[in-house]
Amino acid sequence: MVRRARKVNRVLAETYPDARCELDFDDPFQLLVVTVLSAQTTDRRVNAVRPTLFAAYPDPVAMAGAPREVLEQIIGPLGFFRAKTDALLKLSRALVERYDGQCPVASTTRVTLPGVGRKTANVVLGNAFDVPGITVDTHFGRLVRRFGWTEETDPVKVEHAIGALFPKRDWTMLSHHVIWHGRRRCHAKKPACGACPLAKLCPSFGEGPTDPIEAEKLVKTQGPA
C-alpha cells in the first residue's frame, strides 16, 4: 500500500509539475480570507474579486471595520455573500482582538477562529508558512478512496489515514498533486480513465471512459472556471 501510494504521488508530480495552490495571495491573511471565500465557488472566481477586496481592506484591522454592505457588494459574485461577509467580519475581528492583527501559525490555534476548519488551516499552514499539512477537500477525499488508500469518509480520519502513508514533508505537495488530478482528469461523474497516467496503478480504472480518444475530451487544462 505504501509503495503503491508513493508511486502514484511520483507519477502525479511528473504529470503536474506546476501544481500549487490555485488561490492567489500575497500574505497569510490574504490566503486565510480567500480560502474561506472559496467554499461553494471556484478558485478563479475568488481570484477575480481578490484585488478589489484587498485594495479596500488589506489587513485584519481594515477588514474588521469594513461596512457590511460594501463587503457584500465586493464578494457578491461568489454566492452566499451574506454568510461569507459575516464570516470575514468575525474572522478579522478575532484576529485583531486575539492576535494583534496577525495570522497565527499553529493549526490548533487557527481552527478556533470563526469560519476556519482543519482544511482551511492546513491550506494556510502548508502554503503560507511551509508547515506540512494535508488538505482534504472533495477532490482529495474522492481520489484517495478511488486509489484504495482509505475507505474513510470523515475528513479528519482521511487526513490521518493518508498522513500515515507519506513522509510529513510530502503532505502539502501531495495535496496539490491529488487535487489537480481531481480537477483535471479524475472527475466525480466521468473520470478520464483512458487518458490517465495512473491507469496501471489505479484500482478504480474503468469508472470512466477507457477509450483514449473519448477520455482525452474530458481532460481539462486548468481548474474549473
Instruction: Verify whether residue 189 is a known catalytic residue.
Output: no
Average pLDDT over residues 111-128: 88
* Residue 172 pLDDT: 97
Question: By C-alpha distance, which of 134, 105, 131 is closest to 118?
Answer: 134
Average pLDDT over residues 78-83: 94
CB 28 within 8 A of CB 103: yes
Q: Which of 7, 24, 137, 157 is catalytic?
A: 137
Instruction: Verify whether residue 130 is a known catalytic residue.
Output: no
> Is there a single domain that holds both residue 156 and residue 86?
no
Structure letter (DSSP) for residue 189: S
Task: Assess whether pLDDT exceeds 70 at residue 225.
Answer: no
> Is there a single domain that holds both residue 96 and residue 149?
no
Cell 474588521: give the residue: 64
Average pLDDT over residues 55-75: 97
Average pLDDT over residues 185-197: 97
Sign of CA dihedral 202, 207, 208, 211: positive
> Is there a single domain that holds both residue 74 and residue 146?
no
Enclosing domain of residue 14: 2-18+134-216
For residue 217, give every residue at least 6 positions away whose Cβ sits within 8 Å of its Cβ, in sequence order, or none: none
> Is there a single domain that holds both residue 209 and residue 141?
yes
Task: Identify whether 80 is part of a domain.
Answer: yes
> Is there a single domain that holds both residue 7 and residue 42?
no
Task: Assess whether pLDDT exceeds 70 at residue 20.
Answer: yes
pLDDT digits (tens, 9 = 90+) for 121-171: 899 999 999 999 999 999 999 999 999 999 999 999 999 999 999 999 999
> Is there a single domain that holds both residue 143 and residue 98?
no
Cα separation of the two ends of the chain: 35
CATH number for position 58: 1.10.340.30
Taking the model in full, what pTM does it have? 0.92
* Residue 103 pLDDT: 86
Asked which of 102, 120, 155 is the last residue of a domain, the reply is 102
Task: Identify whether 123 is part of a domain.
Answer: no
Task: Identify whether 91 is part of a domain.
Answer: yes
Question: By C-alpha distance, which of 136, 107, 140 is closest to 124?
Answer: 107
CB 135 within 8 A of CB 123: yes
CA distance 179 to 139: 6
63: confidence class by pLDDT, cuts 50, 70, 90:
very high
Asked which of 82, 102, 122 is the last residue of a domain, the reply is 102
Task: Identify whether 212 is part of a domain.
Answer: yes
> Is there a single domain that holds both residue 193 and residue 211?
yes
Proportion of the chain above pLDDT 90, given as a percent: 87
Q: Which of 119, 170, 190, 211 is catalytic?
A: 119
Q: Who has greater pLDDT, 210 or 108? A: 210
> Is there a single domain that holds both residue 91 and residue 156?
no
Task: Assess whether pLDDT exceeds 80 at residue 105.
Answer: no
CATH number for position 193: 1.10.1670.10
Task: Assess whether pLDDT exceeds 80 at residue 110.
Answer: no
Task: Identify whether 170 is part of a domain.
Answer: yes
Task: Identify whether 191 is part of a domain.
Answer: yes
For residue 202, give every residue at least 6 positions away whose Cβ sits within 8 Å of its Cβ, in sequence order, or none: 8, 146, 147, 193, 196
Task: Identify whether 84 is part of a domain.
Answer: yes
> Is there a single domain that holds both residue 45 and residue 8?
no
50: confidence class by pLDDT, cuts 50, 70, 90:
very high
CB 122 within 8 A of CB 134: yes
For residue 105, give every residue at least 6 positions away whose Cβ sits within 8 Å of its Cβ, in sequence order, or none: 125, 129, 131
Q: How many folded domains does the chain comprise?
A: 2
CA distance 83 to 88: 9
* Residue 164 pLDDT: 98
Average pLDDT over residues 92-102: 93
Task: Identify whether 87 is part of a domain.
Answer: yes
